[in-house]
Amino acid sequence: MTRTTLSALIGSAFSLFALQTPAAVTPEDAKQLGTTLTEFGAEKAGNQDGSIPAYTGGIENVPGYDPKSSSHYADPFAADKLLYSVDSKNAAQYDAQLTPGTKALMSAHPDYRIDVYPSHRSTRYASWVIQNTVKNATTAKLSGEIEGDAVVGADKGNLPFAGIPFAIPKNGYEVMWNYKLHFAPAVTHDYTTAYLIDTAGNVSNLPGTDEYFLHAWYDKNNKLRGETFDSWLGFSAMLTDPPSSAGIVFLNFYLPTAAEGGQKVWFYTPGQRRVRMAPEFAYDVPIASYGGVIVWDEIFGFVGRMDRFDFKLVGKKEMLVPYNVYGPTQTMLHKDYLGPKFVNPAAVRFEKHRVWVVEATRKANARHAYSKRTFYIDEDSWAILASESYDNAGKIWRTTYMLEYPTYDTGGVNIDGWITYDLIKGNHFIINVGMGEPGHSFHAYDTAEGLRINLTPRAVESAGVR
């Protein structure tokens, strides 16, 4: 693919690619990495009108933040001035840049808006992740009996190197694997909270958590993968409140293969004082501890196997998406961002970025509550930034905004928190937020060494709090 061809495709509203080949890219195509493309596959240049800047390496040092003493991140872009807002009155002017979910929210709530700020390509990559990503470009491939079920590569265990597997993606499954293996801190330790706001605007405090999120492939000392089944995502999360739920623990690992359904999940209940396997916590099973407002395979954007949907890469598009969202995640109190119909628009920063659009359509003989899903994946971080899920009548059921922000001390990004709007029931839900609240905190680590994390069912059981 030449630079001329790539630019022409991206310049269209929906750039369509020839995306059928399952093999790794050729060495000739891989030469784009580090030249016209960044080493991780994004367009290095800015867009034509300058509203998306060129990539210059991301951010690292931020005044006001000390990883040894700070309980949460400082917002590096707090001084930015608002560029413009988009609401139901001027939405037509920005129609091509709005997700269908955003348009649906504006239709349902005429007073809903998004506030757009200057775009910052803030994701920073560690040099060793860059090197591994370049190696993956010509060696990583999709595998498995069902398309998209697994990835293979030239590293140990016939797996890709610890980096982005498909920097020049050719289909939707490859983009989704890039999301799964997006660069993030090896460990984040959060004390967080969650809220459900019903159709009358009443706020319910959902369980708070003391949780370790694990991106084991990015442990700089390369030890965490061996303790987590080579999982691309894991978490050890204990519910801290309300009293009826305190002490419940989820221990989840999501695998790079389809073995055991692509995941290993355990569940500890204090009343029984034992851990049991929970393979049923998958696909469209509602999460009971969060009131059933989301299903298991939509946490963190998407987890689990892709076998029930056909994932089609529509192309790349410039869109207005949540980005560098430090407000509800890190710096704000819940009273300043919770609202009766939607999260306070002033709390959720939107920017214009280029995103890969992936459309997942339920297979003819598959069972799932959603008939279709659309994902918007950032070209720089490979994180899901937004999504829509559709019911069987083809109507948008839920729209989700991931509260993405760069973890500038370790490199990579965080998408542990998100907002989900149920456009049929009329309620909304925000989770893994509030690190700016008293008693809450956030810390990121580039290795798990020195941290006491319960990574086995026995360790979870032994640490039971009641």
| Local confidence band at 289 (pLDDT 50, 70, 90 cut-offs) | confident
Q: Of the given ranges (183-197, 285-299, 326-340, 404-418), which has the lowest mean pLDDT?
A: 285-299
- Please give the pLDDT value at position 299: 96
Q: Of the given ranges (133-142, 287-296, 379-388), which has the lowest mean pLDDT?
A: 287-296
Q: In the predicted model, is pLDDT for residue 19 greater than 80?
A: no
Q: 338-374 burial, b for 16+ CB within 10 Å, e for fewer? A: bbebbbebebbbbbbbbbbbbbbbbeeeeebbbbbbb
| Residue 383: partners with Cβ closer than 8 Å, 6 or more residues away | 179, 182, 301, 377, 402, 404, 413, 415
Answer whether 330's CB lies under 8 Å from 443's CB.
no
Answer whether 245's CB lies under 8 Å from 239's CB.
yes
Token pair 């893994």: residue: 432
- Please give the pLDDT value at position 21: 39
pLDDT digits (tens, 9 = 90+) for 157-189: 999 999 999 999 999 999 999 999 999 999 999
Give mean pLDDT, residues 242-271. Answer: 92
pLDDT digits (tens, 9 = 90+) for 89-135: 999 999 999 999 999 999 999 999 999 999 999 999 999 999 999 99
pTM for this one?
0.94
Q: In the predicted model, is pLDDT for residue 2 greater than 70?
A: no
DSSP characters for 67-134? Answer: TTT-SS---TTTTPPP-EEEETTTGGGGGGGS-HHHHHHHHH-TT-EEEE----------HHHHHHHH
- Please give the pLDDT value at position 13: 38
Give mean pLDDT, residues 203-216. Answer: 94
Q: In the predicted model, is pLDDT for residue 211 greater than 90?
A: yes
pLDDT digits (tens, 9 = 90+) for 269-285: 988 888 999 999 999 99
DSSP 8-class letter at 437: S
Q: Of the given ranges (12-26, 260-274, 349-363, 396-410), which has the lowest mean pLDDT?
A: 12-26
Q: In the predicted model, is pLDDT for residue 5 greater than 70?
A: no
The CATH superfamily of 187-462 is Lipoprotein localisation LolA/LolB/LppX (2.50.20.10)
- Please give the pLDDT value at position 296: 97
Q: Is the peptide bond before 242 cis (omega within 30 degrees of 0)?
A: yes
| Residue 360: partners with Cβ closer than 8 Å, 6 or more residues away | 172, 306, 309, 310, 311, 312, 372, 373, 374, 375
pLDDT digits (tens, 9 = 90+) for 428-450: 999 999 998 998 999 999 999 99
- Please give the pLDDT value at position 22: 57
pLDDT digits (tens, 9 = 90+) for 42-51: 999 999 999 9
- Please give the pLDDT value at position 11: 42
pLDDT digits (tens, 9 = 90+) for 24-41: 799 999 999 999 999 999
Q: In the predicted model, is pLDDT for residue 10 greater than 60?
A: no
Q: In the predicted model, is pLDDT for residue 20 greater than 70?
A: no
| Local confidence band at 244 (pLDDT 50, 70, 90 cut-offs) | confident
Rounded Cα gap, residues 132 and 135, in angstroms: 5
On average, the pLDDT of the chain sits at: 93
- Please give the pLDDT value at position 228: 97
Strands 249-254 and 233-241, sheet pairing: antiparallel
Q: In the predicted model, is pLDDT for residue 466 greater than 90?
A: no
- Please give the pLDDT value at position 306: 97
Give mean pLDDT, residues 62-82. Answer: 94
pLDDT digits (tens, 9 = 90+) for 310-324: 999 999 999 999 999
- Please give the pLDDT value at position 290: 83
Answer whether 391's CB lies under 8 Å from 284's CB.
no
Rounded Cα gap, residues 231 and 50, in angstroms: 39
Residue ranges of domains in the chain: 187-462
Q: In the predicted model, is pLDDT for residue 346 greater than 90?
A: yes
- Residues of the chain with pLDDT > 70, as a percent, come to 94
- Classify burial at 203, counting beta carbons within 10 Å of its beta carbon; exposed 0-12, middle 13-18, buried 19 or more: middle
